[in-house]
């Protein structure tokens, strides 16, 4: 019965139907179109609920001029295609695949090559983007687009994709109630992941490696960040994770490894950092004075040049409690697992460098180490409030 209502159309070079756009026109709502291997020219417009399946990776080519596929209908499914060579424009957002104002699309196991924007979701809702391989060839920030770009959307799931060589790997603007999970985003020109004005989202188990400026989460509320890895984001204005104007968010069990800045907080309020690992960073945590009521517990600090650094000496309203610092030299006589003397995660050198960045020339010199040592014996400069009263004595 169902087979009678939903028919399957085949498109291939030797079939009756050779043109994909024609197949879409012939199809009824809910039909399935199976596309065999070969190259098909864009632009293709999908304006009804159809399922497109690619067999043997058929290529849809924008020929450097057009948007390869545009979806303007609900419930569209696109699987197994190679989408390449979209046009480039300074005035329009041309994409390899653009989904606009539609619900419940599924975009799975496609390969996006050499597009301006690879996948563009505008006004989408309930879409699933899974297992795609997105590879761009971005040369400069101005002339390149984002890998997965979502704008004004909700309830998206972006899972297990691989993104490389775009401007931002994944970009969210006005997107809510969405999940980003298990993606790998690397070698992008700007940010591996970029959030703007997007509330109530979560990203988990992603891997961000060597992006131009790391990962940025800005002007958003209620974001959950869990078990992500931020690695090797190096450079003076480069951050493992940049948090700007973020409130009521959570960072649990993330790993920050070998970044210039592990986490950089600017105007970040009421956010919890728990069980994160900071290893081998220049500045593990750098907090601007306009960040308040953040809570750090059970984090591990290993081999960082500076564990915590801040530009305020008097007004500091964040709490550090029960973290592990490899630089802690105290003792634990009552054997409760917490050191008996408090730890000051901000070093004197850190304060000096914050004020006079030139002094980075003397990092690790005998002079600065002596000053640090003296400051630890007779504290005179540290922000009084920045104190971990219960530093862990053993690595959790």
Partner 1 sequence: MLFKLIKYELYDLLKSRWIVGIFIFYLLVFYILLEFGRELRKSLLSLGNVSLLTIPLFSLLLSALYAYHNRNFIEFVLTQPLKRSHLFVSLFLSLSLSVMLAYFISSFLVFYYFFGVNFSFIKFSILILSLIPLFVSIGMFCAFLVEDRLRGIGLSLLLWFAFCILYDTFLLYMAVAFSDYPIEKPLLLLTLLNPIDLLRLSFLVDAGLYEFIGSIGRPLLVYLKKWWFLPSLCSLFYTLIFYALGFRVFKGKDM
Closer residue to partner 1 in complex, CB, 153/260: 260
Single out the residue of 91, 333, 335, 364 in contact with partner 1 (rule: CB under 8 A).
Answer: 364
Q: Using the rule CB under 8 A, is 359 a contact of partner 1? A: yes
Residues making up the chain, counted from first to last = 396
Least separation in angstroms between residue 368's CB and partner 1 is 8
CA 280 to CA 274: how far, in whole Å? 18
Closest CA to 179 of 161, 155, 152: 155
Instruction: Provide CB contacts within 8 A for 120, sequence distance 6+.
Output: 93, 95, 97, 98, 99, 100, 145, 149, 151
Contact between 394 and partner 1 per CB under 8 A: no
Among 1, 3, 333, 361, binds partner 1 (CB under 8 A): 361
Of 35-43, 139-147, 234-242, 328-336, the segment contacting partner 1 by CB under 8 A is 234-242
Question: Applying CB under 8 A, does 236 fall inside the site for partner 1?
Answer: yes
- Of 293, 341, 282, the residue nearest 320 (C-alpha): 293
Given candidates 110, 254, 260, 323, which one binds partner 1 under the rule CB under 8 A?
260
> How do 133-135 and 214-221 pair as beta strands?
unpaired
φ, ψ dihedrals at 308, nearest 5°:
-135, 140
Is 235 or 337 the residue whose CB approaches partner 1 more closely?
Answer: 235
Query: What is the nearest approach in angstroms of partner 1 to the Cβ of residue 241?
Result: 15
CB atoms within 10 A of CB 89: 14
- How far is C-alpha 262 from the geometric centre of its chain's CA atoms? 14
Give the phi and the psi of residue 368 in degrees, each rounded to 5.
-65, -35
Question: CB 353 → partner 1: shortest distance, Å?
Answer: 8
- Which residue from 365, 373, 385, 389 is in contact with partner 1, where contact means CB under 8 A? 365
Among residues 40, 203, 301, 306, which is the contact residue for partner 1, using CB under 8 A? 306
Residues found near partner 1 in the complex (CB under 8 A): 234-236, 258-260, 281-283, 303, 305-306, 353, 355-368, 370
């Amino acid at each position: 019965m169902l087979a009678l209502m939903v028919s399957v159309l085949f498109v291939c070079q030797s079939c009756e139907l050779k043109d994909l756009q024609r197949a879409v026109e012939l199809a009824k709502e809910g039909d399935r179109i199976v596309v065999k291997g070969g190259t098909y020219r864009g632009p293709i417009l999908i304006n009804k609920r159809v399922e497109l399946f690619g067999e043997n990776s058929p290529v849809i080519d924008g020929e450097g001029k057009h948007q390869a596929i545009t979806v303007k209908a609900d419930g569209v499914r696109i699987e197994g295609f190679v989408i390449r060579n979209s046009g480039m424009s300074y005035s329009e957002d041309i994409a390899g695949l653009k989904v606009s104002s539609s619900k419940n699309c599924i975009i799975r196991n496609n390969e996006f090559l050499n597009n301006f924007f690879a996948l563009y979701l505008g006004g989408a809702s309930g879409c699933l983007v899974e297992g795609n391989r997105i590879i761009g060839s971005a040369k400069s920030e101005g002339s390149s687009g984002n890998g997965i770009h979502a704008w004004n959307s909700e309830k998206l799931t972006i899972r297990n994709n691989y993104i490389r060589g775009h401007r931002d790997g994944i970009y969210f603007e006005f997107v809510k109630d969405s999940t980003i999970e298990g993606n790998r985003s690397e070698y992008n020109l700007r940010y591996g992941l970029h959030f703007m004005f997007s509330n109530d989202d979560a990203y988990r188990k992603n891997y961000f490696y060597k992006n131009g400026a790391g990962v940025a989460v800005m002007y958003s509320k209620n974001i959950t960040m869990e078990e992500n890895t931020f690695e090797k984001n190096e450079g003076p204005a480069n951050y493992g994770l940049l948090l700007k104007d973020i409130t009521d968010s959570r960072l649990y069990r993330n790993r920050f490894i070998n970044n210039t800045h592990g986490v950089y907080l600017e105007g970040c309020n009421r956010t919890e950092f728990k069980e994160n690992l900071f290893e081998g960073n220049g500045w593990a945590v750098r907090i601007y004075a306009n960040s308040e009521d953040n809570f750090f517990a059970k984090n591990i600090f290993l081999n960082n040049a500076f564990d915590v650094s801040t530009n305020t000496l008097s007004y500091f309203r964040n709490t550090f409690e029960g973290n592990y610092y490899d630089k802690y030299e105290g003792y634990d006589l009552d054997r409760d697992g917490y050191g008996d003397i408090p730890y000051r995660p901000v070093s004197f050198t850190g304060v000096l460098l914050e004020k006079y960045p030139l002094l980075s020339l003397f990092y690790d010199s005998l002079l600065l180490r002596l000053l640090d040592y003296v400051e630890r014996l007779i504290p005179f400069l540290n922000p009084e409030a920045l104190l971990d009263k219960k530093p862990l004595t053993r690595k959790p």
